[in-house]
Structure 1
Amino acid sequence: MAQLRVARSAVVDAPASLIFDIIASPARHAEFDGSGTVQEAAEGPERLGPDARFGMDMRMGVGYRMGNRVVEFEEGRLIAWRHVGAHRWRWELEPLGDAATRVTETFDYSTVPAPMAFAYQMLGIPSRNARSIEASLLRLKDLAEKEHTDG
């Protein structure tokens, strides 16, 4: 079976701390979501931390709410949350000096049961997620670089 992760990276001309603050704020997720499915934060903390739980109002044809739990967290460097389907969205930040950061977003479905992983492959979800990740990284880059410049 194919690799069960989809990841893309971009270099953002902004410090990792600023980028992490944007990602760690559920209220801001719709601003940089490249899939068009994230609508707004529905419940949870203003800023995510270890084991934080938060809900997002989503839309993919019809509206629904997705519950999430932070499962990996390293302040300023790494945050990942798990959906009900057991897959994870992971954001890794690698500082490249004082004002540049390599940001990697990963859709990891290696933890889902084999039949579900197979279904993801058959439905083309990994390639769809790759396009969404690329769009998210571009939106995050624009947002963070503008905030860094306007600072």
Structure 2
Amino acid sequence: MDQGLYRLNRVHETLEHSPGSWRYAEESDSALIEKWFNSFENDAGLPISPIEQVKKRVAMFLKEQEVFIWEDKGKIVSMMKKSRPTKNGVTVGLVFTPKEERKKGYARTLVTAVSRELLKDFNFCVLYTDLMNPTSNKIYREIGYEMIADSVHLGFDKRE
């Protein structure tokens, strides 16, 4: 995958927001997050993780309060995750909206709101994005993320 590394120091405050609000994901959200985790992998062209592994990872994410969701009228419509915190920065990832809720601005609004929240504790946020996906790249730039590097995700086959 041809990736770009983006950095955010300050959120653009002029964006129009989608209806709803963000919150930390809770244990009751586990089944949906597990399903969306595999859907994210599928959309990204990544190998699909076995559900047992996904369940363990999601449980850990929730325990560490790493997953954020966007709700509109009581319905969960988008999610994202924070990871790899350092003294100065944090990574944003696993941004996912199911196909039936796309093109409504939910992911952009969620990433904007949570990035703003993360910048209260960190000097900057970073994220990796698929450079072949013009929609996500446009959205991240609108939020205030700036591309700082090209990156390549390589996969290796096991040799016997």
TM-score with structure 2 setting the length: 0.30
Q: Which has the higher contact order (CA 8 A, sep 6+)?
A: 2
TM-score with structure 1 setting the length: 0.32
Richer in strand (by share): 1
